[in-house]
A = this chain, B = another copy of it.
Amino acid sequence: MLKLIGLGLNVYGITLEGLIEARSCEKVYVELYTSIIPGLTLDTLKKVIGREAIPLKRKDLEDECERIIREAGRYDIALLTPGDPLIATTHISLVIEARKKGIPVRIVNSASIISAISSATGLQIYNFGKVVTLTRSSPPSLTVYNVVEDNLSRGLHTLILLDLDVEKGYWMGISEAVDILEAMEDEVGRGVFDGDRLALGVARVGSMDAIVKADKLSRIKQYDFGGPPHSLVVPGRLHFMEVEALLCLVGAPQDLLKKS
């Protein structure tokens, strides 16, 4: 059997189910390239799950997919992944290939920024529209602009995930992201990423030292959010409880909220 087990959002983010399943496997692999869990290394992971996990790079999982599936046909193997296992779309092909070969697959869920963004910000999950990822690209793609504009036109919030490439040691910070959004605004000029737009900078959601700041887009980029991962949220129409939450929980400037 192939077990995909989520590690959640911090060093102790694996569920009891995940721990039990990982311990019962013959072999435990881990990939730490689809996202970053603050403080999680092979050493801390070993302390938490009580056994060695074999690290897999992106290339390993792509090139040795066949071998891993063959292994899963002979005995139970686990693949630990940051967050919730299939939020990173990369692993669905592994699951499909395994199932095509008749290998049972089990997914053990854990916390993901997709739902945790709601507790981090106080914004209601029912008011979020489509999620989008901002990547570095040249020429810049306007996907993020269009998604946020479309969500805003419906009064919906947008979670913007920021690109990272752990293996190349690169992660996009909030200030780089805002620079890209401002450049889009200069190009398109429909006001989606106007400097006065209310936005939330969110760092390390779900970990002990998470930081969330609500402010104008032009000011958000001046904060020091510390280490990765970073994200942005562009709120749509705010329910009064969401206004209260932004004021009380993330210290949003009162004058900004009156405007929305």
Chain A positions near chain B (C-beta within 8 angstroms): 4, 6, 8-10, 12-17, 19-20, 48, 83-87, 89, 92-93, 95-96, 99-100, 107, 109-112, 114-116, 118-120, 122, 124-133, 150, 154, 156, 206, 241, 244-245, 248-249
> Contacts A130-B129, A156-B130 known; A92 to B10 CB distance under 8 Å?
no
Known contacts A15-B110, A89-B241, then 14 further A-B pairs from the complex at CB < 8 Å, ordered by chain A residue? A6-B111, A9-B109, A12-B17, A16-B48, A84-B118, A86-B118, A95-B122, A96-B122, A107-B120, A111-B111, A114-B114, A114-B125, A126-B130, A129-B130
What's the least CB distance linking A105 to chain B, in Å? 8
> Are A16 and B17 in contact, with the CB atoms below 8 A?
no
Residues of chain B with a CB closer than 8 A to A19's CB: 16
- Which 6 residue pairs are nearest across A and B when measured between Cβ atoms? A109-B111, A12-B17, A86-B119, A112-B115, A12-B16, A114-B115
Chain B min CB distance to A157 (Å): 10
- Cα A231 to Cα B125 in complex, Å, equals 16
Return chain B residues, CB-CB under 8 Å to A245. 92, 95-96
Task: Kindly list chain B residues whose C-beta atoms are within 8 Å of the C-beta of A118.
Answer: 84, 86-87
CB-based contact B15/A8 at 8 Å: yes
A50 to chain B, nearest CB (A): 11
Cβ-defined contact, B122 with A131, below 8 A: no
Within the complex, what minimum Cβ distance (angstroms) separates A162 from chain B?
14
Question: Who on chain B is nearest to A7 by CB?
Answer: B15
Q: Tell me which residues across on chain B come within 8 A of A99, comparing CB atoms.
A: 248-249
Contact B92 A122 (CB under 8 A): yes
A36 smallest CB distance to B (angstroms): 16
B contact residues around A20 at 8 Å (CB):
12
Report the nearest B residue to A249, measured CB to CB: B99
Cα distance A86–B126 when bound, in Å? 11
* Contact (Cβ within 8 A) B13 A14: no
Contact B109 A8 (CB under 8 A): yes
Do A115 and B84 touch (CB < 8 A)? yes
Q: How far is the CA of A12 from the CA of B116 in the complex (A)?
A: 19
Would A130 and B128 count as touching, CB distance under 8 A? Answer: yes
Across the interface, do B6 and A17 meet the contact criterion of CB distance under 8 Å? no
| A84 close to B111 (CB less than 8 A) | yes
Residue in B closest to A9 when the chains form the complex, CB atoms: B109
